[in-house]
Amino acid sequence: MSTVDLTGQVALVTGGAGGIGAAVVRRLAKLGARVVVQDVDREGAERVAAAVDGLAVAGDASDPSVLPAVVAHVESQFGRLDVVHLNAGIGGGQRGVDALDVSRYRKLVGVNVDHVVYGVCAAVPALRRQGGGKIVITASLAGLAAMPADPLYTLTKHAVVGYARAAGRALEPEGITVSALCPGFVDTLLLGAAKEEFDAVSFPLLTPDDIAEAVQTVLAEGGAGEAWIIQPGGRTTAYQFRGVPGVGGGQLPPDVVLGRI
């Protein structure tokens, strides 16, 4: 496992009140960071923050006004921001493709996609003021492969992976590294009723601590626009994307920078 020293640095974790977020908060604090815990669950955020001598900030990350205000508050309190883990997320919970619950769909996109965009846009100016920094976005293996049981969740995670790949390359010259982490199924409340199905067939699940360790690896080794994968019993590794079709039927390398068309 790669290590990284965050002593003297300030980190922000969205969705930090429980599950993956809380485990990452604890890991970043152990690595030396002062951690800001953001979550819609105020009591949960305060509990997690208190355990690591951090700062809790409540709010709905899918609201476009929240994360800019959070980042401004972080800078006013600590004078800097160095690491951001955009982790807040919810499940789609809609099987099939023809019976759309529009309100649930808009909430899904708001949390899983909009919050990531708002978070990156809010964090980048603060990271620039430090001469660079790290952004890790929690995606999913559903961002790399189809998950027919939940097409809408798959949609949001594909969007997040694509955004991380493009934003990462755009910000690389400024010393700001954006990476996506794409874990398999994790034993958190997000699984809902599926947890019983997994248990019934002894399907191996990742733990929140597994993901916290993977975040540490990505912070230490992650490159611009990379997507990292982790499955039970495996190492955290960078996913190798295929190339893209080129003119005349050839193939361009997977890290090609597409220009304006």
- Give the mean pLDDT per block of 10 residues along the chain (261 residues): 90 97 98 98 98 98 98 98 97 80 94 98 98 97 92 96 97 98 84 68 83 97 96 92 74 60 41
Q: What is the DSSP letter of 186?
A: B
How open is the CA angle 255-258-261, to the nearest 5 degrees? 170
The amino acid present at 255, given as its one-letter code, is D
Burial of 54 (0-12, 13-18, 19+ CB in 10 A): buried
| Whether 153 is catalytic | yes
Q: Which one from 157, 163, 195, 239 is the annotated catalytic residue? A: 157
Residue for token pair 């508050």: 73
Residue 163 is predicted with a pLDDT of 98
* pTM beyond 0.75: yes
What dotted CATH number matches 10-252?
3.40.50.720
What is the helix, strand, coil percentage profile of the chain, to 5? 45, 15, 40
| Whether 239 is catalytic | no
67 close to 255: Cβ distance less than 8 angstroms:
no
What is the signed CA dihedral for 239, 245, 247, 248, rounded to 10 degrees? 130
| CA 172/CA 243 separation, integer angstroms | 20
Q: Which one from 30, 153, 163, 195 is the annotated catalytic residue? A: 153
| CA 44/CA 168 separation, integer angstroms | 31
